[in-house]
Amino acid sequence: MTKKKSNNTTKKSGSDISPLPWIAGALLILGCAVVAGFYWTSTMKVQEVYYEGNRLVAEEELRSIDIPTGTHPDSLNTLQIIEQFEAIPYIDQAAINVEPSGNVTIRITERQPIAMLAEGSRKAYVDKEGIRLPVTLGEGVNVPLVYGFSTRPIGDTLKSAGFKATADFLVQLRNKSVSDATISEVAWTDDGIVALTNQNGVKLIFGKEDFATRLRNWEAFYAKVIKQKGIESMRSIDMRFQGQIVTREKE
């Protein structure tokens, strides 16, 4: 009698498959990526230089600062380059970003003029921190004229109590659309802030403090009185007194 041979061979389950080939493959891919990254980093060169954030500073002035192309980014003295950019009066901050392509982007944060200082025939812009800025710009700025402060030296900072009060007034002025549209000139005097309207040059006296309230009072007076009687009927308008506005009208 012939005996049948039994087939005792069994298939291995998925859990019995060794993970070593998969691990080895992953390590190989990772190693190749590391080698490729190291090669890319070691061979990368600076290709082109671009600028972002500059509106008031002409690009020609930015390009006057040398950033050598064709060199490895590690050879750039980034701190020195940043210092050169930030030495330009209009530049508050500069940052350098190197892209994978090798292009370099200089990100610019500019100072924003809040007024144009006028001293005789000399003029200079000034920002809210009191830093005097040259008038030559890549783009013009619509800001009020301010009298009573020196325009020199450019790049220096006005630190007097008078300018701090004036800067506070100018910042408040920019936040109020009606006031900003109706006031063209500002001066720091013994009475504090004295402004002139852009129509008929009517004197507006704001004093030395509480500018947000006094500008708000001016806007309410403009809407209720000036629009009815006309700005040409006024000589001066004094906002310094609490609860009232004192006017002098033309005879």
pLDDT value at residue 18: 60
SS3 category, 223: helix
Tens-digit pLDDT profile for residues 120-144: 999 999 999 999 998 876 567 889 9
Are 206 and 95 in the same domain? no
CA 142 – CA 76 distance, rounded (Å): 38
User: How far from 71 is each of 39, 43, 63, 168, 195, CA to CA, in Å?
Assistant: 15, 9, 17, 47, 55
Query: Does residue 186 share a domain with residue 96?
Result: no
Do 135 and 240 fall within a single domain?
yes
Domain at 127, CATH number: 3.40.50.11690
- Count each helix (H run) and each strand (E run) in the chain, helices first: 7, 12
119 in the same domain as 229: yes
Which residues lie below 8 Å from residue 99, measured CB to CB, with a gap of 6+? 105
According to the model, what pLDDT value does residue 76 have? 82
Residue 32 lies in a domain: no
Q: Is 12 contained in some domain?
A: no
- Percent of the chain predicted with pLDDT > 90: 57
In a domain, 4, yes or no: no
Do 198 and 74 lie in a common domain?
no
Residue 69 lies in a domain: yes
Using an 8 Å Cβ cutoff, are 53 and 92 in contact?
no
Are 137 and 226 found together in one domain?
yes
Please report whether residue 19 resides in a domain: no
Instruction: Check whether residue 94 and residue 203 sit in a common domain.
Output: no
What pLDDT score does 112 carry? 92
Q: Do residues 125 and 184 share a domain?
A: yes
110 DSSP β-pair partners: 91
**Residue 178 token pair:** 């009606």
pLDDT score for 58: 86
Same-domain pairing of 117 and 216: yes
What's 12's DSSP letter? P
Residue span of the structural domain in which 78 resides: 49-110
On the question of a cis peptide bond just before residue 21, with omega within 30 degrees of 0, the verdict is no
132-139 — which CB contacts under 8 Å span 24+ positions?
Answer: 132/89, 132/156, 132/157, 132/158, 133/89, 133/90, 134/89, 134/90, 137/56, 137/57, 137/58, 137/90, 138/54, 138/55, 138/56, 138/57, 138/58, 138/59, 139/55, 139/56
Q: Is residue 16 in some structural domain?
A: no
DSSP state string for 177-194? HHHHHHEEEEEEETTEEE
Classify residue 98: in a domain, yes or no. yes
Q: What is the pLDDT of residues 73-97, one digit of tens each?
A: 777 888 999 999 999 989 999 999 9
The 10 Å Cβ neighbour count of residue 44 is 16
Which residues have CB under 8 Å from 110's CB, separation 6+?
Answer: 53, 54, 55, 56, 57, 90, 91, 92
The upper half-sphere exposure of residue 209, i.e. CA atoms within 13 Å in the direction of its Cβ, equals: 3
Residues 204, 106, single domain; the answer is no
Residues 94 and 170 in one domain: no
Last residue of a domain, one of 84, 110, 136: 110
Which tokens belong to 240? 């310094």
Q: Do 98 and 122 have their domain in common?
A: no
Count of structural domains within the chain: 2
Answer whether 139's CB lies under 8 Å from 61's CB: no
- Given a cut of 50, the residues of the chain with pLDDT beneath it are 1-14, 33-40
